[in-house]
Amino acid sequence: MSSPAEQLSLIAPEDPAHAPADDAVRMLLFNAQHASPERSRRQAAWVAAQAEADIAVFTEVSSTQGGDALVAALGERGYATVIAPQPTDPDYRTVIACRTADADPVESPVAVTPYRAPAARVTVGGHDIGVLGLYVPSRGPREQRNVAKRAFQDAVAQALPKLHADFPDMPVIVAGDLNVIERGHQPPHKVFGAWEYAFYDSFQAAGFTDAFRHLHPDKIAHSWYGRSGNGFRFDHLFVSSAHADQVLACDYHQEAREAGLTDHAVMTLRLAVAQPSAPGCEARERGRSQEER
């Protein structure tokens, strides 16, 4: 039986502030920062007002009243499908919201705390895409330091290669707060271990491309700031490498963080739903059309 959150897809929502695009995937990644019900409703209103949020992935969503308020508010704001798995014990979860009703939850390929890693198949402009949301645990309390984080990361690394089979012949997007940084991060942070850098590397090894780095190979960007003011690029969007050339835009935005809605930057992605034509194809097609006339 579907959860109450997933059953929102059966309820007729209000008209969305923006109609879903049919020529590109427009995705927004938002860290909810275990918000209260009141702030959760403001988060939903802000996200719904963004044109790039046809698919919105929310991380660090509480399993209690704040998370429930977010899920309900998204339905009220025009999200026809809201996938919000509920943990059996109090914990954080990840939510996927889609403006289109043409989206279905898929069993998570991540065996450990799968409510942190919901998956979905979404149809955009007649093209199917696969989506996996991720919220990697933080380091945890001293007595359990890195135990939950490492177990979840290992489960994700094992699941990543399976995504190509779960979503065959279609773009796959993995979006989330990974709580790790890339090698060569600026500024460097000595706190991260080799196993954490290896987790970031596991995406490329499994056939996924860092969408931001694909477009901005040398740009310094941060999505979270510590008490000292040092920045960390914790939030990431990966695209199946076979479809990396379809990435049209991928950026970080600080407005919601600066407004106090969250403590993370928002991340956006725009992905063409069809492969770009090979050089010369359009000219050949035009010539063929003229001949046929």
Which tokens belong to 260? Answer: 């106090």
Question: What is the model's pLDDT at position 32?
Answer: 97
Q: Which residues are bridge partners to 27 per DSSP? A: 55, 269
| pTM (two decimals) | 0.88
- H-assigned helices in 218-276: 255-258
Question: What is the model's pLDDT at position 290?
Answer: 44
Higher pLDDT residue, 291 or 188? 188
What's the CA gap between 240 and 175, in Å, rounded? 12
Q: What is the mean pLDDT of residues 114-124?
A: 98
Can you give the CATH number for the domain in which 220 is found?
Answer: 3.60.10.10
Give domain status of residue 208, yes or no.
Answer: yes
What's the CA gap between 14 and 110, in Å, rounded? 33
Q: Domain count of the chain?
A: 1
User: Mind listing the pLDDT tens digit for each residue in 161-217?
Assistant: 999 999 999 999 999 999 987 888 787 777 777 889 999 999 999 999 999 999 999
Q: What is the span of the domain harbouring residue 286?
A: 6-292
Give domain status of residue 55, yes or no.
Answer: yes
User: Cβ atoms within 10 A of the Cβ of 184, count?
Assistant: 7
pLDDT band at 141 (very low <50, low <70, confident <90, very high): low
Give domain status of residue 1, yes or no.
Answer: no
Which tokens belong to 184? Answer: 């060569």
Question: What is the model's pLDDT at position 63?
Answer: 95
